[in-house]
Amino acid sequence: MSADSNCSGNVSVPLRNLLNSIQCVRDRVRDQAVKAVSQEATKLSLAFSKPPLPSQQDAEKLSDSILKSVLTLSTVYYWLPKSHGISLRRQVRDATVAVLEGVAQLVEVILSSPLQSLSQEQLTSTGGVWSACDQFAQLPQDNKAAVLVVLSDQIGVVKDAIEEVEQALSDAHDPFSDVLDDDQDGEGPRENQDTYWSEKDRSVIAPCQGLMKASAACVRKLSAAVKANGDFSTPENVAQLDDLADISKEISPGVDDLALCLYPPMDYSGVQNNTSVVLDEIPHVFDKVDFHCVKNNSAHRTVEISRDKLTVRRGQSFNVTLNLRQAFDPLNDPLKFTASTGNYPSEDIGTMSLFGVPDNERRSTNAKAVWKAELQESYSLQILNLTITPPADAPIGEYRVMVGYKNEETLLGELVVLYNPWCSDDWVFLPNEDERQEYVMNESGILYKGSGNYIMPLNWDFGQFEDRMVEICMKLLDLNPKHLKDPSDDVSARCNPIYVSRVVSAMINSADDHGVLQGRWSGSFAGGVLPSHWTGSYAILRQWLLNFFRPVKYGQCWVFAAVMCSVMRLLGIPCRVVTNFQSAHDRNQNLTIDVYHADYGVRERPTRDSVWNYHVWVEAWMRRPDLAEDGRYDGWQVLDPTPQEKSDGVYCCGPAPVKAILKGETHLKYDVPFVFAEVNADCVDWLVKADGSKVTIWTDTQRVGQNISTKGVGTDDRMIITKNYKYKEGSSEERAVFSYACTRDCSSDSFEVKPMMMMKNEERTPILGSAEITVNEESTSIAPVVPPLTIQFEEVSIPTVGADVSMNLLLQSPPEATDDKTLSITISIQSITYNCESSMSMKQEVKEEKLLAGKDLSIPILILFEDYREHLLDCDTIKVSAVVADKQNPEEMYYAEQDIVLQDPPMSVTVFDHPKQDTETPDMKPNTRIVVTFFFNPYKSGKKTLMVNFGCSIFRDITGSCTVDVKPAKAA
């Protein structure tokens, strides 16, 4: 109850007059006290500025006078009631202390200075007292004004911190110019990382800048609100003003400390702590944001990737709940959103989008990839349920979403956007759900190795949803040379799966960039892992991440392809691993593979062209509107990360449409001629005689591109897809396509099928340990010219590691033959790698035999285990070749070869409920069985494939696997 309500008007008037008088006296006393201190300090300084010194009595009088003036000034502070406001009292106190400190410093200077004319130090000290006294005139008159001074100071601190960080960013050099230095050895971090920001650092800086700007906006808004509506008429209002001042004084140091933590080397712990401090102090309009990560990620089929970070697929909406501290007024104060990715976001290139609720945002006329937000019908005035949709053509990557309301902007959150094969508007849309589950969601798969007649499955763990895989894949994109050259353009181009798949193809190998894997096909594998030891992609990708993006040693084609498949599936691009048996490597791009042999059967010299036992690449599913608008080249695209040949100056390959390869359209991009040759080149074997002359001994149009295989959909069976790449071997369609591919003239009828002197087309041997899905279509519809004799190899028994290999060389004289033939036969046995790059002679035999007219001749060949055991530790295959010459007709020469891939000993894997650990493995004797028991702890539920890799002193990398159904952990 106030005095005004209990007193008549005549009583309140004198009381008010009294209050005004007291305030005037207070102000006069304060002003006079300050003037007195200034005057007395001046007298003291002048008295001791030159001889003679004042007498002791005069000095005591001067001291007493200045002491009285100082005590009077101090009384002004103590006299000021606390009810007038803490902020006001603090500023009066600070001003009083500044005067006292100035006087004390002046006295100390006089005591320490010799008697002389007025010294510069004494002048400075006297001026300091004057300056401190002058500040009193500028002190606020009430607590509202005092709080506004505080807020202005804090705005200045925050603004300075923001500008300093922005200036440092604009001055910073390329953060990878040092980290990505090929010349530095060792596996540790680079020496001068302390002076540069990494891309990871920059990804942290951007949201921190947003928080700092939100803090500045918050303090400015507080200042405007106090200036417009601040009230100090009651003690409660005065206290509220003081609270606002205290909040601002907590925000600005937090922002300043946050800025300091951002400088390289970035203090991640400090960033986290100071971010929490600032967030705790900002009086949010936005009370709470819920991204519903588990629910949204489940709907977007990304919950396997993360349960606590929003990961969505473009073209598909997700839900957000936004809690406001004030009622939502869409007509006057719409919500304004900004979604951005990369360090240089722009509407015109699709890396930034402005949108709102309602959507009244003024966007650029060239804006691309526009996001949208909608308010769901069920909402209250302060709890908003929103639906946000990234467009189907948005660049994939890590996004920051800012939200603004009533002149306050804050970070709504961060999320990851991936491709969406479930969205019909996305270029990677795959219509079949079973195929989407297989080629996007399946974390385990089967690769195929061996040769055309010896196909062996290899279980592989793609692990695309393992921990930190998003970080790994985003880093892989950020480290590609195109991003380092033009990050803005590169991030924008990530809307296009054609571009991204080509980048990934280049970055999986490290031949000309800082990619994931270093290849090696021969020599020592010291310092790394033998390629055949790998059983999954995640171990490789994780090592690359933890090893500061240095290449992992070592990989070969199936490893490169499998790792790329993991990355593509994580990004959301349907992908499968494909093996081409008898795969050609056409270096001179003439669609012909020339191989040279000496007259004793082994290769005369290394040749640029070669035919690999098998080669592994990937197929990715996407549209190709860059090639044709009618979709004729949409679908599976060949991509090959193995560094074989350069494409546009970079070691990558594809995407090459499989449909274009089938039609022989070798003029299309990317790298269609190279892939066409891999599956359909003609082979010519030449005999190099002692005099250097060359004779054609074998022309084969059917050898290359056999049993092109991939894992079946929803099954562990092998699916042969050769018919996707070429027509039936020897058919008129296949020959016409080959002619067109060579000449690019679809009307040409000049192509002539050459007569072939070759071994018979053998029946294909079924895969070892796996079922076939489709029948082999390697039939011939054009009958070859019957040669004077045919030769071929035939097995006596299935070749197995650890056993002797027995086979026959069968020579057949046609029934209509009338003359016997005396033959010179050279049989050579070599160990080779699967890509035919390295060979070592194991055995050679030359003999003379007579082939009777119309009869068969069988020559036994025995390869002892002792002959090959050491060679197969470094090689994969035994190549047996035979050169046969007719001694009566030396121009008639015949050639046959066969690659033998030894079958591994069987190994079974069984999972028990309560396994014990036993890692000791005793020496194995022949024809014995050994059981080894291991303990392991699964960390993911669902059907998983457990793989075991076994090696010993005789052979390497025997693998086994079994399917395990891991049940979810029971709730505690």
Most confident by average pLDDT, 764-768, 793-797, 960-964: 793-797
CA distances (Å), origin 610, targets 301, 473, 584, 613, 838? 43, 33, 6, 10, 11
Residue 615 bears catalytic tag: yes
Show the DSSP H helices in 80-112 as ranges.
86-112
Residue 494 burial by Cβ neighbours in a 10 Å radius (0-12, 13-18, 19+): buried
Which among 450, 445, 478 is positioned nearest to 563, based on CA atoms? 445
What's the pLDDT at 562?
Answer: 97
Q: Among residues 208, 557, 652, 653, which one is catalytic?
A: 557
For 80-105, the pLDDT digits (tens) are 777 888 888 888 888 888 888 888 88
pLDDT at residue 23 greater than cutoff 90: no
Specify the pLDDT at position 13: 60
Query: DSSP for 781-830?
Result: SSPPPPPS-EEEEEESS--BTTS-EEEEEEEE--TT--S-EEEEEEEEEE
pLDDT value, residue 575: 98
Q: What is the pLDDT of residues 239-248, one digit of tens each?
A: 888 887 887 7
324, 357 contact by CB (below 8 A): no
Contact 121, 175 (CB under 8 A): no
Q: Which amino acid is at 280?
A: D
- Taking the alpha carbons of 755, 758, 760, 766 in that order, is the dihedral positive or negative? negative
Q: How confident is the model at residue 883 (pLDDT cuts 50, 70, 90)?
A: confident
- DSSP, collapsed to helix, strand or coil, labels residue 346 as coil
Cβ pair 516, 508 in contact under 8 A: yes
In whole angstroms, what is the distance from residue 215 CA to residue 248 CA? 9
CA distance 427 to 623: 5
Residue 660 has pLDDT above 60, yes or no: yes
Cβ-based neighbour number of residue 764 at 10 Å: 17
CA distance 302 to 417: 10
The confidence score (pLDDT) of residue 220 equals 82
Peptide bond into 906 cis (omega under 30): no
Backbone angles phi, psi at 305, to 5 degrees: -75, -50
Q: Are 580 and 615 in contact (CB under 8 A)?
A: yes
For position 226, what pLDDT does the model report? 83
* Sign of the Cα pseudo-torsion (512, 670, 706, 957, in order): positive
**Counting beta carbons within 10 angstroms of the beta carbon of residue 192, is it exposed (0 to 12), middle (13 to 18) or buried (19 or more)?**
exposed
697 or 956: whose pLDDT is higher? Answer: 697
Tell me if residue 246 is catalytic: no
pLDDT at residue number 953: 59
Burial of 448 (0-12, 13-18, 19+ CB in 10 A): buried
- Give residue 619's identity as a one-letter amino acid code: E
SS3 call for 522: coil
- Return d(Cα 592, Cα 584) in angstroms, integer: 9
Question: Is residue 223 over pLDDT 60?
Answer: yes
pLDDT given for residue 702 in this prediction? 83
Give the residue-averaged pLDDT of 934-961.
Answer: 70
Residue 786 is predicted with a pLDDT of 55
Q: Is the pLDDT of residue 773 over 50?
A: no
Which of the residue ranges 116-130, 373-387, 503-517, 694-708 would you say has the lowest mean pLDDT? Answer: 116-130
Per-residue confidence at 187, pLDDT binned at 50, 70, 90?
very low
For residue 652, pLDDT beyond 90: yes
Residues 406-451 pLDDT 10s: 877 788 889 999 999 999 999 999 999 999 999 999 999 999 998 7
Segment of 148-152, 180-184, 593-597 carrying the highest mean pLDDT:
148-152
Instruction: Provide the pLDDT confidence category of residue 165 given band limits of 50, 70 and 90.
Output: confident
| Cα–Cα dist 314/291, whole Å | 16
Rg (alpha carbons) of the chain, rounded to whole number: 41
pLDDT confidence of 750, banded at 50, 70, 90? very low
Instruction: Please give the pLDDT value at position 942.
Output: 72
Q: Are 741 and 666 in contact (CB under 8 A)?
A: yes
Which whole-number Å values give the CA distances from 88 to 78, 81, 132, 700, in the listed order? Answer: 12, 10, 17, 98
| The CA-based dihedral angle spanning residues 931, 935, 941, 946, taken in that order and rounded to the nearest 10 degrees | -30
Pairing of strands 635-639, 656-657: antiparallel
pLDDT value at residue 378? 63
The CA distance from 834 to 857, in Å, is 30
Q: Which of 19-33, 333-347, 841-855 shows the lowest per-residue confidence on average (mean pLDDT)?
A: 19-33
- Which H, E and C letters describe 164-204, residue by residue? HHHHHHHHCCCCHHHHCCCCCCCCCCCCCHHHCCCHHHHHH
Express each pLDDT in 264-290 by its tens digit.
888 888 888 888 877 776 655 556 788
Interval 99-150: pLDDT, tens: 888 888 888 887 777 655 557 777 888 888 888 888 877 888 888 888 888 8
Q: Does 114 sit behind a cis peptide bond, omega within 30 degrees of 0 on the bond before it?
A: no
What is the CA 381 to chain-centroid distance, rounded? 40
Question: How many angstroms separate the CA atoms of 723 and 710, rounded?
Answer: 13
Asked if pLDDT for residue 459 goes beyond 50, the answer is yes
What is the CB neighbour count within 10 angstroms for residue 42? 15
- Cα torsion angle, 53, 57, 60, 65, sign: negative
pLDDT band at 590 (very low <50, low <70, confident <90, very high): confident
Pairing mode, strands 408-418 and 311-313: parallel
Cβ-count burial 210-219 (b if 16+ within 10 Å, e if not):
bbbbbbbbbb
Mean pLDDT of 849-873: 82
- In contact, 112 and 125? CB cutoff 8 Å: no
Please tell me what DSSP assigns to residue 676. Answer: H
User: Of residues 513, 640, 671, 899, which has the active-site annotation?
Assistant: 640
pLDDT band for position 218 (cuts 50, 70, 90): confident
Is there a contact between 205 and 262 (Cβ–Cβ < 8 Å)? yes
Cα 69 to Cα 96: distance, rounded to the nearest angstrom: 12
Return the residue matching tokens 């700007």: 213
pLDDT digits (tens, 9 = 90+) for 366-401: 999 999 999 987 666 778 899 999 999 999 999 999
Q: What is the DSSP string of 231-266?
A: --SSHHHHHHHHHHHHHHHHHHHHHHHHHHHHSSSP
Q: What is the pLDDT of residue 829?
A: 85
Q: Out of 615, 685, 875, 904, pick the active-site residue.
A: 615
More confident residue, 582 or 38: 582
Q: What is the mean pLDDT of the chain?
A: 81
pLDDT of the residue at 20: 57
Could you give the CA distance from residue 370 to residue 632 in angstroms, rounded to a whole number?
29
Alpha helix (H) ranges present in 628-766? 658-663, 672-680, 722-725, 732-743
| Rounded mean pLDDT, 728-740 | 88
**Residue 250 pLDDT exceeds 60:** yes
Exposure string (b/e) for 136-150, b if CB count within 10 Å is 16 or more?
A: beebbebbbbbbbbb
Please report the pLDDT score of residue 355 as a whole number.
Answer: 95
First to last CA, the chain: 60
Query: pLDDT-based confidence at 50, cuts 50/70/90?
Result: confident
Most confidently modeled range among 81-95, 516-530, 588-602, 778-792: 516-530
Place of tokens 């950020």: 478
pLDDT at 3: 44
Does the active-site annotation cover 667?
no
Which tokens sit at 639? 């991509």
| Per-residue pLDDT at 952 | 64
> What predicted TM-score, i.e. pTM, was given to this entire model?
0.67
